[in-house]
Structure 1
Amino acid sequence: MMRTLPPTGMLTSLEAALGALLDGLVPVAPSFLPLDQALGRVAAEMPALLEAQPAHSIAALDGWACRALDLVGASAYSPLALPAVPAWVEAGDAMPEGCDCVLQADLVDCSGPIPQAVGEAAPGQGVRRAGEDMAAGRPVALSGQSLSAADLLVARKAGYRELAVRAPRIRVIDVAAGSGETFSTLLVAESLKAWGATVVATDAAGREAASIAAALDGEACDLLLLVGGTGDGRTDESAEALARRGVLLAHRIALRPGGTTAIGRLGSTPVVVLPGAPDQAFAAFLSLVQPVLDRLSGRHQRRSIVLPLSRKIASTVGLSEIALLNEHQGAWTPLAVGDFSLDAMRLADAWLAVPGDSEGYAAGTPIAAVPLPDSN
């Protein structure tokens, strides 16, 4: 059942708007992607590994494969004669039968007629034992988490060429193609890709309501985003376009920045109309679009980092204000609250939404903030 939102003309709380967008929403079906296209996508369920990794003991370094018992007492002062020249192995090679350690190149002297060891080793030295990297029965990738370069390494080591992912298909409509608001459309599209979504970008034929309403029709998608035309300007008719199509749920959210955002539903597809100004679009993206992406991709709850505030955050009661934060010397330093500069947006490490019933937080308060995906 669709959530009830305030009548037109009243501010809708961030919580109510997000609830309406998420209502009945389920993760998209998994698809398989080649490993070279899977980085940053959210992993879906995969069968467990049938065998441990590595499947057999391998050399961890270049050197001589030996048996530790044959080397006891060997040193530079007391070389130990070996019955034969040991097998040479490169890192990653399977260990020869009967060998349980790898000596470095300079610890075996093969210059004379009889090979000599000038150092000893303990069993397992220089060797990565079978199953040491990953036990059998472990998943090749962790469902609900973004695939990292290390995940792809595990998959390649295990012989996989593709992985199951949940990659929501997002259609982005640039309402103000050719104007300054196009920068915000690019920001939104690039942010979507950073969060693992597949993006299809189109332009509305014009800024008037009829053209915007017509642009809503198009190929199927999991989330429909429009950028621009949400304010009080004479050519701002995006919310009116949604209303004409009967898909508008709310226009104007108790959010800062991003208060002119509109939301709707086109059939079962969530619709978010982001403001054209970059800071407004970015704040609405973080607070409304990101949670929808998480639901569609089946992502586990995003990790947050708890640090004390280096200085207070003051917030207006009745509005959910977005704060951008920078981590400095073990504390969160507020860069911007409710009004973002471009510099603050590029320097931010994390963000948080100050609830509408809060006046903010005092300096020293431990705060849980959500890291941004491209923060250093």
Structure 2
Amino acid sequence: MADGCACDRHAQTYLSVEDALTRGLAAADPIMETEILPLGEATGRVLAENCISRVEMPAFDNSAMDGYAVRLSDLGDGPLFELSIAGRVAAGDSGAHTAPAGSALRILTGAPVPADFDAVLMQEDCEATPDRIRFTRRPKPGQHIRRAGEDLRAGTPILRRGCEIGPREAAALASAGYGQVTVYRKLKVTIFSTGSELKQPGEDLGPGQIYNSNRYMLRALLDKPWIQLTDAGPVDDDPVILEQVLSQACDSSDLIVTTGGVSVGDEDHMPRLFAKIGGETDVMKVAMKPGKPIMFGRRGDALYIGLPGNPVSAYVTWQIIGSQLMMRRAGLRRVPPAPQQAILAEPLQRRAGRQEYRPVQVDGIAPDGRPRLRLMAPSYSGRVALLAQADGLAVIPAETASLPEGHALDFLRF
């Protein structure tokens, strides 16, 4: 693509958040390479296979309680039942126990229930001596017995490809007999911040300089077990250096994320440079607040996301759009941010036109249980301290100019 073509094509195009996200997801092809890991080393990785249970879960009839296994055929009409204790079955035993007619077996939780026993009495329901039990309530067939396969039958699906392996998934895989699993390789991500004004925390600030908060925000957002992160650091607004760093990142990464340099100022070089190195830009401007200047596109196998330089804008555009593209690229099943319903604690007045994600604080709970939201400052794109004080983002539709106190709206809690 000729230098400048991509950015000129979309220079005056404003997409809705939904359309921008759809376009971005279409460009974010999932990686396909996989590796096999022992289950104990797969925590936090992205599952690359559909998994079925290899065994019955549970694998055998077992006792749900500490108590006594009985045969209903040994019980008379009551009202008092009395049986001798013929043995003891513990977890890990074979279950090949026999007992003469008219007797019970002491049984512990998780122990296999012998084939001809059809109920378990809780020990609390029995009067026991070392060799006999007495009880007055006749048990029901199958009482306190966990039947083989009642959780899952062998061959039943348990996990789908694309899930992140956490504690619950690891437990399910272990129970189903998986000693190793196939996962997607780690997503190779490179980040860097643009701007000659940036200094690192701990350094002295000179005139016109600011601390680089975006770098550390991105490092925290991308600190995931399924990511191999390369931090290319801050890069001055020098087109030659920026082009070199961007090109190298595209050659070695699945995903490149930058902050700054994507608007229309004299030092906003990224759209032009990305086109110059052969990148195809998919989005330039999105009708959202904050975050109107955002771009993403492809060069070869690399997906590029250019976030705004203002910290709040960078955070919001990443959470709403960027993170969704990253998850798809990594092979994760996409799970959009799930809003909850909340109500305004005060009236809202604003200029309509862009879908807004306003930082808010929770100011109590309404009688119906919904959180009440107090709007924070209307001008906030560079106020990272305000973002740290917020409880989440209120989602204000693009066409909305005013809302009364008590009006319902979506709330994305941090």
Scaled by the length of structure 1, the TM-score of the pair is 0.76
Conserved 8 A contact 1:65-1:102: yes
Deviation at 1:214, TM superposition (A): 1.6
Q: Which amino acid aligns with 1:117?
A: R
Matched position secondary structure for 1:271:
strand
1:188 aligns with 2:218: yes
Match of 1:310 among 344, 348, 351: 344
Matched position secondary structure for 1:23:
helix
Deviation at 1:128, TM superposition (A): 1.5
Match of 2:31 among 9, 28, 31: 28
Deviation at 1:286, TM superposition (A): 1.6
Deviation at 1:115, TM superposition (A): 1.6
Matched position secondary structure for 1:261:
strand
Question: Hey, what does 2:391 align to over in structure 1?
Answer: 348
Counterpart CA distance in 1 for 2:76 and 2:394 is 60
Q: Which amino acid aligns with 2:133?
A: Q
Counterpart CA distance in 2 for 1:316 and 1:8 is 24
Q: Which amino acid aligns with 1:317?
A: A
Structure 2: stretches of 5+ with no match in the other structure = 90-105, 202-210
Conserved 8 A contact 1:205-1:215: no
Structure with the greater alpha carbon radius of gyration: 2
Task: Note the alpha carbon deviations across 1:167-211, whole angstroms, 9 max, x for none.
Answer: 6614132225853554323322332346x7414122157312222
Question: Hey, what does 1:62 align to over in structure 2?
Answer: 66
1:179 aligns with 2:182: no
Q: How does 1:60-139 map to 2 (within 5 A)?
A: 60-70=64-74, 78=80, 80-82=82-84, 84-87=86-89, 88-107=106-125, 111-112=129-130, 114-118=131-135, 120=137, 121-139=139-157
Q: How does 1:1-376 map to 2 (within 5 A)?
A: 7=9, 10=12, 12-15=14-17, 17-29=20-32, 31=34, 32-36=36-40, 38-39=42-43, 41-70=45-74, 78=80, 80-82=82-84, 84-87=86-89, 88-107=106-125, 111-112=129-130, 114-118=131-135, 120=137, 121-166=139-184, 169-175=187-193, 179=200, 182-193=212-223, 197-204=226-233, 206-207=235-236, 208-216=238-246, 217-218=248-249, 220-230=252-262, 237-247=269-279, 249=281, 251=284, 253-296=286-329, 297-300=331-334, 302=336, 304-305=338-339, 307-311=341-345, 314-324=349-359, 328-329=365-366, 330-331=369-370, 333-334=372-373, 335-336=375-376, 339=380, 342=385, 344-345=387-388, 347-348=390-391, 351=393, 354-359=396-401, 367=409, 375=414
Structure 1: stretches of 5+ with no match in the other structure = none
- Choose between structure 1 and 2: higher strand proportion: 2
Matched position secondary structure for 1:175:
strand
Task: Note the alpha carbon deviations across 1:270-304, whole angstroms, 9 max, x for none.
Answer: 21122344312111102221221343325155373
Conserved 8 A contact 1:307-1:367: yes
Question: Hey, what does 2:97 align to over in structure 1?
Answer: none
Comparing 92-101 with 239-248, which one deviates more in the overlay?
239-248
Scaled by the length of structure 2, the TM-score of the pair is 0.70
Matched position secondary structure for 2:29:
coil
Deviation at 1:225, TM superposition (A): 0.8
Deviation at 1:242, TM superposition (A): 2.7
Conserved 8 A contact 2:257-2:306: yes
The 1:319/1:303 distance shift into structure 2, 3 A limit, reads: closer
Deviation at 1:220, TM superposition (A): 3.6
Cα RMSD, aligned residues only: 4.0
Counterpart CA distance in 2 for 1:145 and 1:363 is 40
Deviation at 1:23, TM superposition (A): 3.4
Counterpart CA distance in 2 for 1:353 and 1:188 is 23
The 1:355/1:172 distance shift into structure 2, 3 A limit, reads: farther
